[in-house]
Amino acid sequence: MESTFSSPAEASLQRKAGTAGLLTPLADLDRMYELERVVGFVRDLGCQRVALQFPDQLLGDAGSVATRLEEITGSKMFILGDTAYGSCCVDVLGAEQAGAQALVHFGPACLSPPARPLPVTFVLGQRSVALELCAKAFEALNLDPTAPMVLLSEPACAHALEALATLLRPRYLDLLVSSPALPLPTGCLTSEPEPLERFGRRFPLAPGRCLEEYGAFYVGGSKGSPGPDLDPDLSRLLLGWAPGRPFSSCCPETGQCQDESVRAGRLRARRQYLVERARDARVVGLLAGTLGVARYREALAHLRNLTQAAGKRSYVLALGRPTPAKLANFPEVDVFVLLACPLGALAPQPSSGFFQPVLAPCELEAACNPAWPPPGLAPHLTHYADLLPGSPFHVPLPPPDSELWDTPDVSLITGEVRPAPAWKSSNAPGCSALTPRPQLELAESSPAALFLSSRSWQGLEPRLGQTPVTGAVRGRRGIAIAYEDEGSS
């Protein structure tokens, strides 16, 4: 029964941690994992216990990296793997269980602020980039030297963007270089204005300029032809970028480029379909997909308020990493909303697929808040923190007497007119957990109970004292395709 709602313990013991063929040679270990910078981070803090977090694909090098760091720093190193949620998030809970005073995160990262204060440094990796090939690809795609463009990259290629910009700036006049939004050192004060921070990156915009004016050139991706499932980082950029601006990607090793406008349109169409599914849904499952990212409790309360204002019922489920087998235990739920980091919410779903669709918080906001989106907003927000009060993108719910709640709405999936939501506050009558029946019995008014009552078959009923007692009789013999008493056909 435990494996129905959570991953079995045997799965962690049988899982292979890395592959021997992917181990980094010892001579390249210092360069690949930037051990000199990590040693300086540990020594500056004076930490005696440090947690090293690796994704699954880098666990083969974890032992060698930990041994090297222990020899140089003299501090105790703890290896964190198989995180409860996404490996791109900082596993603050695992580090606290090990009693670590600091954490070093290796591999791709969403750079979301952790829920608890802990000194963290990131090692994003350094993927090789063919600068000349990428520069030629950029020039072939962008013939207008005055058009505003911004250079983007996957985290492992961020180290080469400034060098690429140096090759392009003699010709291109309006070129912006983004950088990963790494946490600033404690007590760091600068007189320069803070750059715009969005999509896990910083953009040093000039005064009076906005990001929606720029096209994008993304360095990253696979060498071969791209598959149907995009990298979550690229999906986040395609969904959030201004639809009217050009967006292209370039493979860092080969310089092969392609226009991403078609795939961006498909992603937006898929997200719009999910919004329609959320508007048709009556029961929403809120999946707690992170416990280590800041403000997750506030975001969970915000989503519950959204569903209640729109006249929908909601579950709150904490199941770790969602899988089709886990979510199939809740057939009464029409849609699920994954409350996770930006990369976790956009990660490709398993090939088998889920019984019901899994949405991001932004799509539930668009479905339940009639005042959403505000004018001039990007088409898709990737982080739930952008929906909360204090964010420039936050849009409060209209008051109950607002005309926005009474606007006629037609489902684009079923073609039926949706009824106006019965807006209720948390203190309104009729929101109690128990509902009296005429027989003076009390039954819990839950989505599961309502779903069970609407089913044609509700399971075996005991009917104590109503079924007459009879002797045992012999039943039918054979298999379902041909019982003995059916004869041959």
Assign residue 223 the CATH number of its domain. 3.40.50
Position 428 scores a pLDDT of: 47
Is 382 within a domain? yes
Give the gyration radius of the chain's Cα atoms: 27
User: Do 139 and 245 belong to one domain?
Assistant: yes
Distance between CA atoms of residues 455 and 361, nearest Å: 30
Is the domain of 349 the same as that of 385?
yes
What integer pLDDT is reported at residue 442 of this predicted model? Answer: 45
The residues facing 313 across adjacent strands are 283
Q: How many domains does the chain have?
A: 3
Both tokens assigned to 317: 């489920």
Q: Indicate the pairing of strand 482-483 with strand 149-153.
A: unpaired
Q: Which CATH number goes with the domain that contains 340?
A: 3.40.50.11860
Alpha-carbon gap, residue 383 to 381, rounded angstroms? 6
Residues 6+ away with beta carbon under 8 Å from 216: 149, 150, 152, 237, 241, 245, 246, 247, 248
Torsion of CA 468, 471, 474, 479, to 10 degrees: 40
Q: DSSP H helical segments within 220-295, as ranges?
A: 232-240, 261-280
Considering the domain boundaries, does residue 359 fall inside one?
A: yes
Domain boundary among 245, 268, 291: 268
Choose among 161, 151, 159: nearest CA to 34.
159
304 lies in some domain: yes
pLDDT at 243: 85
Residues 292 and 247 in one domain: no
Residue 221 sits in the same domain as residue 174: yes
Residue 357 lies in a domain: yes
Does any domain span residue 480? Answer: no
CA distance 163 to 313: 53
Q: 345 lies in which domain range? A: 281-419
Q: What is the pLDDT of residue 441?
A: 47
On whether residue 178 sits in a domain, the answer given is yes
| pLDDT on residue 429 | 46
pLDDT value at residue 280: 92
At which of 377, 392, 419 does a domain end?
419
Q: Per-residue pLDDT for the chain (489 aa), expressed as one digit of tens each?
A: 445 555 555 555 555 544 444 577 888 888 888 899 999 999 998 989 999 999 888 888 888 999 999 999 999 999 987 676 778 888 888 888 888 999 999 988 888 888 888 889 999 888 889 999 999 999 998 888 899 999 999 988 999 999 999 999 989 989 999 999 887 665 555 556 678 888 889 999 888 888 889 999 999 886 544 454 678 889 889 988 888 899 999 999 888 988 898 888 888 888 889 999 999 999 999 998 888 788 889 999 999 999 999 889 998 998 878 888 889 889 889 999 999 888 887 876 665 578 899 999 999 998 998 888 766 555 577 788 888 888 888 888 888 888 888 887 888 888 888 877 765 554 444 444 444 444 444 455 677 777 777 777 777 777 778 888 888 988 888 888 878 887 665
Residue identified by tokens 């994704």 is: 55
Same domain, 285 and 215: no
Same domain, 259 and 305: no
Q: Is 258 helix (H, G, I), strand (E, B) or coil?
A: strand
Q: Which of 314, 226, 298, 211 is nearest to 264 (CA)?
A: 226
Phi/psi region, residue 173 (left: phi>0; alpha: psi -120 to 50; beta: rest), is alpha
* Residue that finishes a domain, picked among 123, 139, 169: 123
Same domain, 166 and 215: yes
Residues 396 and 316 in one domain: yes
Does residue 487 lie in a domain region?
Answer: no
Same domain, yes or no: 406 and 343: yes
- Give the number of C-alpha atoms closer than 13 A to the C-alpha of residue 411, restricted to the C-beta side: 15
